[in-house]
Amino acid sequence: MRVLPRSAFGQTVFLIGLLLLINQLVSYVTVAFYVIKPTAQQINQLVAKQIKVVFIDHHHDEALLTEAMAQRFQQATDIEIYPQHLAEQHGLLQARFYQFMSTDMSNELGGPAEVRIEQGAQLAYWVRPPQAPDYWVRIPLSGLDESQFSLLTFYLLMIGFLSVAGGWWFATTLNRPLKSLQHAALRVGRGDIPDPLPERGSSEIRAVTRAFNHMATGIKHLEQDRALLMAGVSHDLRTPLTRIRLASEMLQQQDNWIRDGIINDIDDMNAIIDQFMDYIRHHKDEELQWINLNDLIEELLESEHLQQRELLHELAADLPSIPARRIAIKRVLNNLMENALRYSTGDIEISTGYEQGRRQVYLQVRDYGPGIPEENMQAMFEPFTQGDSARGSGGSGLGLAIIKKIVDMHHGEITLHNHAHGGLVARIYLPLKARKSSL
């Protein structure tokens, strides 16, 4: 069982709270032993002296404790003397017994005594003295009541609350730059370079933020250089490919088989170049809009020629719309279909659905091909990992990498698994609500 929290924020709050708890315990013990206990002992001594004055002339003669004498004492000193039955009627039953005060009082009065404290409208001592065991002496304590003890409790609780609140604010302020740094790092991982973060917080956090900004700027420049390089390579390759295709068209009719082979090779090369450009393209340049996956699938069914293959579709009714980039999601759908066509020969199933608990819609494509070995499943999302090592066909190795990049950009999730009855199932989850970092 883990006691310490994992996050720096939680550990900071836990440490501050633990130190404050120790401080509160020490303060309570200090107040109890060096303030409350000496005060209680002084009050006991004063009460004991007053009781001695009450019985100074009686020398353990209870018969002399008449009602008239009790009234005179009450009028002169506010000290009340009651026999057991009258004491119970005047509040003795509501008084609380205190052992340590009884022990001190017994030592002061020279015999067994019992002390109870009545905490009503007025704080009062009830003492059964050894000089008259059948009587109770009630001594009111003016200027000292229960509210003063409640004020001390309130003070300790308020100090503890303010200390914890201050520690919480301190930890939040200390960890806020780290939280911003975490979100920015996640955006960089999805290929979205954020604006430079403000340098705030402690000197160490400022240094880390400065280093992160420098790293993000370097990555942004590398991305721009890579896009420029790929655009140049694409242009330089397409020009000779176009000339080769034009030259192939001029071949004699008996060389049609050569011309067809050249044209097919050129089409494959153009397709590979297009995939390279798709992979490095910044899809975030496209604006978010509300789309419905069912509409995209219906467009695909109307526009695509599926090579005499049967496409079985099961689209969820009343599927919620999601905020997404339409062209990017269409590219995801096209790549999934191309993979299914390339790596299988049977029917293709496509379906959509909505998982209310996860607040996500999903798109699923299943083929009836050989599937992918489990040990190669995660590697298929890496760039330039070709499918021929897993499913016996060629390719550029960028199809699933492009899909994962687009899905990650939408804060979604893609999963692959082999169906129990054969074939590969690719499922993509997309959230119903766009996050701020996507806007």
What's the structural domain count of the chain?
Answer: 3
Please check whether residues 252 and 290 belong to one and the same domain: no
Q: What is the residue-averaged pLDDT of the chain?
A: 77
Could you tell me the pTM of the whole model?
Answer: 0.49
Determine which helix (DSSP H) or strand (DSSP E) holds 428, and give its type and residue range: strand 424-431
With a cut of 50, say whether residue 227 has pLDDT above it. yes
Please check whether residues 133 and 16 belong to one and the same domain: yes
In a domain, 164, yes or no: no
Task: Report the distance separating Cα 327 and Cα 330, nearest Å.
Answer: 5
Q: pLDDT band at residue 60, thresholds of 50, 70 and 90?
A: very low
User: Of 49-53, 124-128, 254-258, which has the strongest mean pLDDT?
Assistant: 124-128
Task: Report the distance separating Cα 236 and Cα 412, nearest Å.
Answer: 36
Please check whether residues 314 and 229 belong to one and the same domain: no
* Residue where one domain finishes, among candidates 223, 255, 280: 280
* Residue where one domain finishes, among candidates 150, 172, 190: 150
Task: Report the distance separating Cα 48 and Cα 52, nearest Å.
Answer: 6
Please check whether residues 260 and 323 belong to one and the same domain: no
| CA-based end-to-end distance of the chain | 40
Residue 263's domain is classified under what CATH number?
1.10.287.130
With a cut of 80, say whether residue 279 has pLDDT above it. no
Residue 115's domain is classified under what CATH number?
3.30.450
Please check whether residues 337 and 429 belong to one and the same domain: yes
The pLDDT of residue 283 is 61
Structural domain containing residue 126: 8-150
Task: Report the distance separating Cα 220 and Cα 226, nearest Å.
Answer: 10
Q: pLDDT band at residue 142, thresholds of 50, 70 and 90?
A: low
In a domain, 187, yes or no: no
Q: pLDDT band at residue 402, thresholds of 50, 70 and 90?
A: confident
- As a dihedral over the C-alpha atoms of residue 397, residue 403, residue 404, residue 409, rounded to 10 degrees, the angle is 140
* Residue where one domain finishes, among candidates 280, 309, 343: 280
- What mean pLDDT comes out for the span 300-320? 76
Please check whether residues 32 and 144 belong to one and the same domain: yes
Q: pLDDT band at residue 426, thresholds of 50, 70 and 90?
A: very high
Of the candidates 304, 307, 374, 371, which has an alpha carbon nearest to the alpha carbon of residue 344? 371
The pLDDT of residue 66 is 57
Amino acid letter for position 262: I
> Angle 314-394-389 (CA atoms, 0-180°, nearest 5)?
90
Sign of the CA dihedral with 231 first, then 412, 399, and 305 last: negative
Mark out the alpha helices in 32-79 (DSSP H runs): 37-54, 67-77
In a domain, 171, yes or no: no
Cβ(313)–Cβ(361) below 8 Å = no
In a domain, 420, yes or no: yes
Please check whether residues 22 and 129 belong to one and the same domain: yes
With a cut of 90, say whether residue 428 has pLDDT above it. yes
Please check whether residues 220 and 268 belong to one and the same domain: yes
pLDDT tens digits, residue range 100-130?
A: 888 888 888 888 889 888 876 677 888 888 8
Of the candidates 112, 155, 153, which has an alpha carbon nearest to the alpha carbon of residue 131? 112
Please check whether residues 54 and 135 belong to one and the same domain: yes
Residue 316's domain is classified under what CATH number?
3.30.565.10
Please check whether residues 271 and 305 belong to one and the same domain: no
The pLDDT of residue 361 is 93
Q: pLDDT band at residue 346, thresholds of 50, 70 and 90?
A: confident
Q: pLDDT band at residue 306, thresholds of 50, 70 and 90?
A: low
In a domain, 262, yes or no: yes
| 99-113, 121-135, 151-165, 186-200: range with lowest mean pLDDT | 151-165
Please check whether residues 96 and 17 belong to one and the same domain: yes
> Angle 19-21-25 (CA atoms, 0-180°, nearest 5)?
120
- What mean pLDDT comes out for the span 299-308? 66
- What mean pLDDT comes out for the span 52-71? 59
Please check whether residues 402 and 313 belong to one and the same domain: yes
